[in-house]
Amino acid sequence: MIKLHPNSQQLSEFAQGQCDSGVALIIAAHTDMCRQCKQKLTLIEAELAREAMAEKSSPDPAFDTMLANILQMPAASGIEVSYKQKKLELDGKEFVLPRSLQRYADKINGWSHLPGKLWQARVDLGIDGRADFTYMEKGGSVPEHTHRGTELTLVLDGEFSDGIRNYDTGDFIERSCDHVHTPHTEADEGCLVFSILDKPLHFTSGIARLLNPFSQLFFK
């Protein structure tokens, strides 16, 4: 069951098209998976529309030309192609992606195997920061770390824990420099997440601290 959702502020900014693209994409993916947020979004959009469409600008002579121009345009073909659901494949497993992430399955620059039974595939979104699909095998973990910026994570499949709490499929997780965590999974099927990170990870404990100079591997 999904317990963690974007807050109202985030949903509202998303509905207005005001948040950063990476953030918007991960919120969109969450709403694809979460009926509750989808309904909220519909209400927010209706309210925004009511506000935005309440005011009229003064009449403009350019409108007549505009109307005439538009009426010259042909109708778009009404053919809707049923779309084939794309799957993400890794190590013999297949994952169905939320609609908004489907297009990015093609943009994966290959999976890298990282220490700790982790697989990571960066997605080039052209945004500041980075976006990744990360797959943790059963028993896999990321060394304890915190963030210099904000990390948004969406659980796409499976579940994991980070020493703070447990996360289930569909959960939307926000982590910042206030949190030190150690994500790991014991789920048999492992766990696939999508995350957006605006600054490198900062490893905090033991031998993993030595990874800090290399955290560009996690954040290239």
Partner 1 sequence: MLVGIQLETRQTQRPSGPEIANEMSTYLQTVASERCKASFAEIFHYFAPRVRSYALKQMKNEAQAMELVQETLANVWQKAHLFNAEKGSPSTWIFTIARNIRYDMLRKQQKRKEDICSEDMWPVLCEQTASDAEVSLDHQVTLEQVGQLFSGLPVKQKAVIEAIYVEGKSQQEVADELGIPLGTVKSRTRLALQRLREMLEKDD
Span 130-169, contacts to partner 1 by CB under 8 A: none
Q: Give 94 or 188: the residue with its C-beta nearer to partner 1.
A: 94
In angstroms, the CA 140 to CA 184 distance is 6
Which positions from 161 through 220 interact with partner 1, judged by CB under 8 A? Answer: 207, 210, 213-214, 216-217, 220
Q: Which residue, 51, 42, 49, is CA-closest to 11?
A: 42
Q: How many CB atoms lie within 10 A of CB 216?
A: 11
CB of 138 vs partner 1, minimal distance in Å: 15
- Give the residue, chosen from 3, 7, 49, 189, that forms a contact with partner 1 under the rule CB under 8 A: 49
Angle, CA of 115, 120 and 122, to the nearest 5°: 140
CB of 182 vs partner 1, minimal distance in Å: 16
CB of 208 vs partner 1, minimal distance in Å: 9
- Give the residue, chosen from 7, 8, 36, 42, that forms a contact with partner 1 under the rule CB under 8 A: 42
H/E element, 147: strand 145-147
**CB 151, CB 177: distance < 8 Å:** no
Give residues with Cβ within 8 angstroms of 200, minimum separation 6: 148, 215, 216, 218, 219
- Give the residue, chosen from 1, 61, 75, 178, that forms a contact with partner 1 under the rule CB under 8 A: 75
The site map against partner 1 for 7-36 (x = CB under 8 A) is -------xxxx---xx-xx-xx--------
* Helix boundaries (H) for 8-89: 8-16, 21-33, 35-52, 62-72
CB of 92 vs partner 1, minimal distance in Å: 9
Does position 61 interact with partner 1 (CB under 8 A)? The reply is: no
CB of 60 vs partner 1, minimal distance in Å: 7
> What number of chain residues touch partner 1 (CB under 8 A)?
73
**CB 154, CB 197: distance < 8 Å:** no
Which positions from 83 through 122 interact with partner 1, judged by CB under 8 A? Answer: 83-84, 86-91, 99-100, 103, 105-113, 115
Does position 48 interact with partner 1 (CB under 8 A)? The reply is: yes
Q: How many CB atoms lie within 10 A of CB 160?
A: 25
